A = this chain, B = another copy of it.
Amino acid sequence: MYNNETKPRIVIIGAGFAGLAAARTFKNAPVEVAVIDRTNHHLFQPLLYQVATAALSPADITAPIRYLLRKQKNTRVLLGEVTGIDTVQKTVTLEEGSMTIPFDYLLVATGTRHSYFGKDEWEMLAPGLKSLSDAVEIRRRFLTAFEEAEKTTDPDEQQELMTFVIVGGGPTGVELAGVLPEIARRSLRRDFRRIDTNKTRVILVEAGPRILAAFPERLSQLAAKDLKKIGTEVRTKEAVIGITPTQVTLQSGEVIRTRTVIWAAGNVASPLGKMLGAPTDRAGRVLVEPDLTVPGNPFIYVAGDLAITKNAEGKPNPAVAQTAIQGGKCAAVNILHRLYQEDTKPFSYFDKGNMAVIGRNKAVVDLSPWKLPGFGGFLAWCAWLFIHILYLVGFRNRLSVLMQWAYAYLTYQRGARLITELDREQSLPITTA
């Protein structure tokens, strides 16, 4: 049992950007902090698409949570799945009751998963990209598609296998759609004998009128133009109405024959949000008070993608890493304010701008919060690279990632083209002698 009689006990669920930022804010504070996560690592989600496209290894974009918080003596890290939150008794339950952890203050920062808008059966056919497992599964599917295409002699089947549909034109969809054609036409071209990987089709489908809807319209157009140059087909104002193992049907009636669909369209909140007894939006995200507490319970905070926060004009803040980092920090500071019997401060998101990368040397950078014109092209890509390496947690990862990018950039090769036995869900039967 976690117990400490003297110091206030703070429990943080989730060690993503929000949870980690909050934990770090408590450094040297006279509190006992417990950080609970389902995995042992913090994930640098903005580079997850690089794992999905075999450029980086899972370990390159992760760092053990314990390692990141090792110098913070008031903080414990627990690997476990939270299965219950008692907001009255103020306890958190792990693994169906095997462990109960009391808290004085709780921060829930467990984020979102992808949502299939009621079409749960699509999940098996079109995996999303939120966790490391997702990324490894997408990597397996797209690498295996080329392997299968090489095995068959039926040209229709080959084309079907070499067609990739990405649903959702947000940053994740654009990032994937910008990398896949390059891999097919450059990295893989010489490795196959029977198929011509130049025939690979990558189709990005967006239901709204334009891709990167959060960006200014000019940058959306620039990104669409850059994607087309790379060879990606962009379909806007096109909703997906059907997915089967061999095809995708669009609202316009177009049928795309494909074996690989990637879902980058919608989000749904972690189920922990519902356990707080707080009002939520349609996607299950918690409608928090301005100081990030749950309405009616000043001891429970929510931050990161799981919380809906609004800016001064009443517009929701974007679900990006910066919002989570600032939100986690704000929640922690407000807990400290409360401990010192001071007033809490409302969360105010400081928007530093936004960027999305397109293929191997293009990006778009939105600087509208600074009232500056955004820009695209190679310079934007350099800015993207600089910022992402800067923010990537931990010295080792930064250096290793930089090296592998340099390698991939110069040689057009991908370092992590791995289909393991585990992935293929078959292993050699063991017979004993």
Interface of A toward B, CB cutoff 8 Å: 1, 38-41, 57-60, 62, 64, 66-67, 70-71, 73, 75-81, 99, 113-120, 123, 131-133, 136, 143-144, 147-148, 150-151, 153, 190-194, 268-271, 281-284, 396-397, 399-400, 403-404, 407, 411, 413, 415-422, 424, 426-433
Contacts and interface: CB of A to CB of B under 8 A. Distances in A.
Contacts of A64: 191, 417-418
A400 B55 CA distance: 13
A70 B89 CA distance: 63
B78 A268 contact: no
Nearest to A115: B432
A191 B271 contact: no
A191 B57 contact: no
Contacts of A144: 79
A345 B271 CA distance: 67
A280 to B, nearest CB: 8
Given A416-B59, A420-B58, A433-B282, A191 B132 contact: no
A54 B402 CA distance: 20
A192 B67 CA distance: 9
Q: Taking each of A40, A268, A416, which has the highest tally of chain B beta carbons within 10 Å of its own beta carbon?
A: A40
Nearest to A268: B433
A431 B396 contact: no
Pairs of residues from A and B, 9 with the lowest C-beta to C-beta distance, nearest first:
A66-B191, A57-B57, A133-B422, A59-B416, A79-B147, A283-B433, A40-B419, A282-B433, A57-B59
Contact of A38 (B39, B99, B426): B426
Contacts of A123: 430
26 contacts: A40-B147, A41-B418, A59-B415, A59-B418, A64-B191, A66-B191, A70-B190, A71-B190, A77-B191, A79-B151, A79-B419, A115-B432, A119-B432, A131-B421, A133-B421, A133-B422, A268-B430, A269-B433, A270-B428, A281-B433, A282-B433, A283-B433, A284-B431, A396-B411, A396-B413, A399-B403
